[in-house]
Amino acid sequence: MRVRILRTLGYKVLSDINAVSVVMPTALIGTVILTLRGRGVGKSELVRRVDWLSDRIRAKGGRVAHFAGAPTSVVVERGIEVLGPDLVGVVEGLAEETFYAVDRFQLSFYRNMTIHLFISEALVSAGMYTRVKLGGGPDHQRVTYSWLLDHVSFLSQLFRGEFIFPTVGLSVNLENTLNGLERDDVIKIRRNGVGGIDTVELSDTERACGRENYDFYCFLIWPFVEAGWLGAISLLGLTPPPGQEADVWLEVNRAQDMAQLLGKTLYHQGDLSYFEAVNKETLKNAFQRFEEEGIIVIRKSKDSKHNPPTTKIADDWKPQRDPETGKIIPKGRLWDFIETIAQSRREG
């Protein structure tokens, strides 16, 4: 209870800080570059999206640094100079000046200065993506409100240690977010006879513009989805080996190191989209959430210096092995948990 009270107080302080924080041009540029498809972005497109993002931040009640009358193109040039060539590179010899992310991990710190303003939209977009990623026409990508509510609830629980959510309650916040996205012509809502939300889908306008605004919200949350998925699949490594009945207790630090090594391997083999998901601090947060959810058990000693904390999979989350092959059977609570996260992972 004490930890929960302290965490709530901390979130309140962070929320108040976010409310008065000013988003600088470097944060605008970093956010735009990390939320676009493709290898790079032309200067004109970068300027256009910085203007769009500035408008969206103000519409959400955020503050954007005053440009002092300078055109956005000049502000972008100065911002890229501040970020430097170690973070944002320029491709020479092209028809248009084109910028690309050199160090996406370092650049993500600038993106994280804006994500708190759009976390509700990002979670809704990730929930819709479970259908959008399947492709096909609008009818095939349409999602019911009940499904969206369940998936947004799941993601909210998964990321409750990462973000500050509105205090109005999940259902009210979801409805407010959907109405806002509808006003922005990002989504189209079909309502039932009593005015309740029945289904949600991408708007015709959003489809016509290549999903650029919808994708923006997805790109904000995808690195965190990857981190949650990586942390969850790393727990499969705590499954007792074939023929062993006793639990496998592993030092928490070693388990997190193994998860990080797994993430690096998957990233370089093309099975993990975001290297920032391999961040040790992010994985530590994931393990903390898994403990809170009862997925893992952590045993601590008063003498943590000589007896570091150890962890194991909780009994009712422990995967089973095929008695003949020794391989983990792809079913059970942990497997279903991993699959639910995977539904919102980025394709391609």
Query: Mind listing the pLDDT tens digit for each residue in 138-147?
Result: 888 999 999 9
pLDDT: is 342 or 7 the higher one?
Answer: 342
pLDDT confidence band for 16 (50 / 70 / 90): low
* pLDDT at position 151: 96
Give the per-residue pLDDT at 7.
58
Are 60 and 116 in contact by the 8 Å Cβ rule? The answer is no
CB 273 within 8 A of CB 346: yes
A 10 A CB-CB count for 199 gives 17
Answer yes or no: are the C-beta atoms of 130 and 154 closer than 8 Å. no
The predicted structure's pLDDT at residue 3 = 57
Query: Do 2-111 and 219-338 show the same overall fold?
Result: yes
pTM of the model: 0.90
Domain boundaries in the chain?
A: 2-111, 116-210, 219-338
CA distance 153 to 142: 19
Band (197; pLDDT cuts 50, 70, 90): very high
Confidence band for 242, pLDDT divided at 50, 70 and 90:
confident
Query: What is the structure's pLDDT at 247?
Result: 85
Mean pLDDT, residues 55-71 taken together: 90
Fold for the domain defined by 219-338: Arc Repressor Mutant, subunit A (1.10.10)
| Architecture of domain 116-210 in this structure | Orthogonal Bundle (1.10)
- For residue 211, give Cα distances in angstroms to 44, 155, 203, 226: 19, 22, 9, 21
Among 277, 318, 333, 244, which Cα is nearest to 105's? 277
Whether residue 255 has pLDDT greater than 80: yes
More confident residue, 245 or 35: 35
Q: Which CATH architecture has domain 2-111?
A: Orthogonal Bundle (1.10)
Task: Please state the rounded mean pLDDT for residues 159-181.
Answer: 87
- Rounded to an integer, the average pLDDT of 75-103 is 95
Query: Which of the four pLDDT bands, split at 50, 70 and 90, describes residue 263?
Result: very high
Which pLDDT does position 128 carry in this prediction?
Answer: 96
Give the pLDDT of residue 165: 78
Confidence of residue 13 (pLDDT cuts 50, 70, 90): low
**What pLDDT, on a 0 to 100 scale, did the predictor assign at position 6?**
63
Average pLDDT over residues 117-138: 92
